[in-house]
Structure formats: structure tokens, C-alpha cells
Amino acid sequence: MVKWTNKMESKLRTPNAELRTNSGIPVKTVYTPQDLQGCDYLKDIGFPGQYPFLRGVYPTMYRGKLWTMRQYAGFASVSESNRRYRYLLEHGETGLSVAFDLPTQLGLDSDNPIAHDEVGKVGVPISSLEDMELLFKDIPLDKVSVSMTINASAVMLLAMYIVIAEKRGIPISNLRGTIQNDILKEYVARGNFIYPIEPSMRLATDIIVYCRHHMPKWNSISISGYHIREAGATAVQELAFTFANAIAYVKSVLEKGLDVDEFCNRLSFFFAVHMDFFEEIAKFRAARRIWAKLMKERFGAKKLESCMLRFHIHTGGVCLTSQQPENNIVRVALQAMAAVLGGTQSLHTCSYDEALALPSEHAVMLALRTQQVIATETGVPNTVDPLGGSYYVESLTNELENRVWKLLDEIESMGGAISAISKGYMQEEIQKSAFAYQKEIEAGERIIVGVNAFIGERQEIPQILHIDPEIKKEQIRRLNELKKKRSNKKVRTSLESLQNAAKGFDLSSAEGKENLMPFIIDCVRNYATLGEICNTLKSVFGAYTL
């Protein structure tokens, strides 16, 4: 812990001090038109709703429709998660965002011995269609947008969602929402993978192709910079690594024979927003222009919709502190404001107690109210891109973009994202940035209020949520009952069909003869469990090991 002193303040705040953004971009004392020399306002900045979408993807942005307000939630039991979802919808949330527990993310049933200590700890456990049916009980799937943060086992969870809609008589073409389905960032930043990279890419691509033909309102992938940033990346690295992964996905789908304009309008993105207020705003503005140029100039997209970068933002989980947790309320409010000024389409605001446990109901409601206050009381949504034209913001936007292109070129020289991941390049660069950041905190060169400065008296720890161990027992009991009452013959038959279809997969070329989605949907209809489906594919694809 570093004690704040006048000497430290003098070092950090003198007029001639060398100040930089969190990405290391030098910050001048004042910005003037000279900093924008060579910048054509109409061409490079333009207007919202027009290529290259620097100022926003829609002409009127929030004057026409506010961003979707989501709260990421999932609890130890499906019934409690369902209750929280209905509570949030009743209090003004406009979209659901589902958090799954670690076993579900790794394709493990709740009764798997490996999953014993993790069932329900960081989200809701889903082992079968029956769990999913209880999770969405009494929630109108044809009226609510649902986002599912799931990757390695995404194809199984989407299949369950599809079957629920079918059983309710809802055309799946009417379903709105997002499946994260971004497996590449798991190898880079999170480590929640199941299969080797090539077959994992096959499954991700199968989802995109299936949704293109059957679910036109569904975002078939949410390419995530959030987890990359949370692992320690800078804002520049967050954009560069995310777009490198996006390029790999687009190439993979193009190899399946689809035209770029057939599917790119349903690709979405997921970014973090951290504490460097103006850098974060500039980051989102630069991201839109980079993506528009990539789609038009590299992939030849002809439709404007294909060039639009639509994204969800999650306030920074790693920015939350367990020390003086109420300070997190201020952090989240500032981050949410930056997200709105940056032009997000969807936003989750962290709860102030998340550094301690799953968020309490009180904390979640305060996080939602933060978005509602910004939307209705500040006047910020009344005009589009209100910081557009700021000498500082525009200069920072340009510099961020230039640095991202440089990193993208470097990754391209390695053979693209998959090659860079396989060589450990992205992972190593993130580790370097994370280490440098932590050193600055420990040296007192970066101040975190309540952690290494302004300690004061210790705040009282708020009441946190504790998980009842009986919940796990009930989850496993229901799973065992399901296995007894279902038709195990139908389960075996559908799993064998899936296995045979998977064997048509060429590991060396990532090409597959058949889309596996219909086979997985059939398994789900017969109440095959998540673990049974994942193990069937693992018998063909193998498992990824570091």
C-alpha cells in the first residue's frame, strides 16, 4: 500500500509532467486545430448513420431508441435465476443477459465429479433442456432480447433455446438476441475451451451459417474484446486482437460459400469500458471506423449494414475493488457515461458488490438505475456524438486507430489470428501489459482510490450473497430423475447420428461436410445432456490442452 503524499501529487500533477492514457498515448496540456491537420472532417468524421460510422451507426441514435439495458445475471439455481430475470424485466430492464456457471461453460454436467466444487458458483448451471425450460419459465421469448454469454458449449445452449421456442410454438425466425460464440478469445484470455482450435472454429462457424438461414434476427456471434481487456490488455490491444479474431471468423464463413453481405449484418461485438474516460470514448469511435474500413475495403462488403459495428458494453469488472466497495458506484457511473458517449447499442453496468460475490438484489437495482438516470436525467442522449469535433477526442480517436492498424498488420504478418494465438503472441502481449499495469499500481504511479491511496477508514462490507449447498444437491437430483424418465434409446440414437456427422470433419482443413447444428438440436429434443453431447464431440475432435 502506498500512502498518498503531497510529493506524489506534485509528481503526478505538475504542468510539465508526462501524462499518458492507459494505452500509453501521450496526452498534451491542450489540443488545438493543429492536432487535426490532414483530417478531412466530412470524409473522416462525417455524420452518424453514414459510412464510416465514426459518429454512430444510426442517424438519430438515442433520440430514436435508447440502448438496450441489460444486467448480467445467473445464480446457483435455475428457479432463482428465473426469479431475478423477471424482477429485472418488471423494473425496466429491456434485455436479459445470462451468466452460466463454469461447468456449463466447459461442457460438464452438474453431476460430473470434476464439476463438484463449481456448480452454481459464478452463474446458473444448465445440464439439460429441462434446466433451460425452467430458466425461461414465464418469460416471453418472442418479446425479449436474450444474450447468452457462452462459448465452448455455445452450440448446445443455443440448441436448447431453439427447442424451447419450438415447444412454445414460437417461430425461431422471430427470436431476438445474441449468443457469444467467440471461442478464439478463450484461447487468448479466459481458458474456457473444450476442443482444439480447428474444430472449435467449425462449431462457431456452423452457428453463424445456421442462424443466417433460420434466425435472421439473431446475432450469431458476439466477438469479444471484453475478456481480452479484463485479462490485462490495453485499449489498443483490445481492439486489435478483437478485430484480428473477427477477420478469422469472417474468413471461415466465407469458406462455407456465403457472401459477406449475407451474414455480416448479424455479427456483433462486445467491449469493455474502463476508467480512462476520454480514451474509452475515442476507442469506441475508432472501432466503428476500423470495422467499416475492414468490411468495405478488405472484404468488399456492398451493404451499409455489413459495415456497421454494433456492440454491447460491459463496465469493467477488474476496475471494481473489494476495498471501499461503495467507490465502485462512482466508477460504474463514469464508465456507463463513457459507453453512452461512445455510442453503444447495449450496456451492462456492474453492481458495486461484484468484487465480493454475486451481486445482491439491491446492488443490481442500483446498477440498473444508473443507466436509467443517464438515459432520462442527464440530457446526454439528446444529441448524437456530443463530443464529436473535440480537438482532443478526435486526435485521440485518430491515434488509437493508427496504433490498432499497426498491430493488425503485425498479426497479419504472422498468418492471422489463429496463427498468432497458436504461437502465444496475443497471450504474451496481454501478460506484458497486465504486469506493467500492476507494477504502476504497486509503485504508486497509478492511483486506485481506496486501494493504494486515500485509504481512510475501512468501509463496512455490504451483505453479500451466499450460495446454499442444498441447491447443488437439488440440481443433481433433478438431473438424475431426467435420465430415468427420458427415452435413453432415443438419446443414444441421436448421439450416434451426431458422432457420425462430426466424423465428416477434416481436422486439417477445418472443413465439414454437414452443419452440426441440426444434429445437436435433435439430441437436445431427446433430452440428451450437455455433458453427453460435449463428450460425443470430444470423442471425435479430441480435447485442447495447453
CATH, residue 372 = 3.20.20.240
Q: Is residue 219 a part of any domain in this protein?
A: no
Domain residues for 316?
1-65+272-459
Q: What is the pLDDT of residue 510?
A: 45
How many domains does one find in the chain? 1
Distance between CA atoms of residues 5 and 237, nearest Å: 33
Burial of 416 (0-12, 13-18, 19+ CB in 10 A): middle
Give yes or no for a contact between 207 and 161, defined as CB atoms under 8 angstroms apart: no
The confidence score (pLDDT) of residue 470 equals: 84
CA distance 498 to 519: 5
Contact between residue 391 and residue 35 where contact means Cβ atoms under 8 Å apart: yes
* All three cell numbers of 301: 462488403
Rg of the chain on CA atoms, in Å: 23
The per-residue pLDDT for 4 is: 54
* Per-residue confidence (pLDDT) for residue 507, from 0 to 100: 44
Query: Taking a C-beta distance cutoff of 8 angstroms, is the pair 323, 357 a contact?
Result: no
Residue 55 lies in a domain: yes
Cell numbers 473444450: residue: 194
Residue 385 zone, left/alpha/beta (φ > 0; ψ -120 to 50; rest): left
pLDDT at 2: 53
Q: What is the pLDDT of residue 72?
A: 79
Mean pLDDT by 10 residues, the chain (546 residues): 54 73 94 82 79 96 93 82 90 86 96 92 94 96 93 98 98 96 96 96 97 96 97 98 98 96 96 98 98 97 97 96 94 98 96 88 92 97 96 96 98 98 97 96 92 81 73 92 97 97 64 83 98 98 90
Q: Give the span between the Cα atoms of 400 and 121, in whole angstroms.
A: 37
What is the pLDDT, as a whole number, of residue 13? 60
Structural domain contains residue 370: yes
Does residue 520 fall inside a structural domain? Answer: no
Q: Is 187 a member of any domain?
A: no
| Residue 83 covered by a domain | no
Q: Does the residue 453 lie in any domain?
A: yes
Is 439 within a domain? yes
Q: Are strands 346-348 and 505-506 parallel, antiparallel or unpaired?
A: unpaired
C-alpha cell at 208: 453463424
Cis-peptide into 52, omega within 30 deg: yes
Residues 321, 325, 327, 328: what is their CA dihedral angle, to the nearest 10 degrees? Answer: 60
Q: How far apart are the first and last CA of the chain?
A: 35
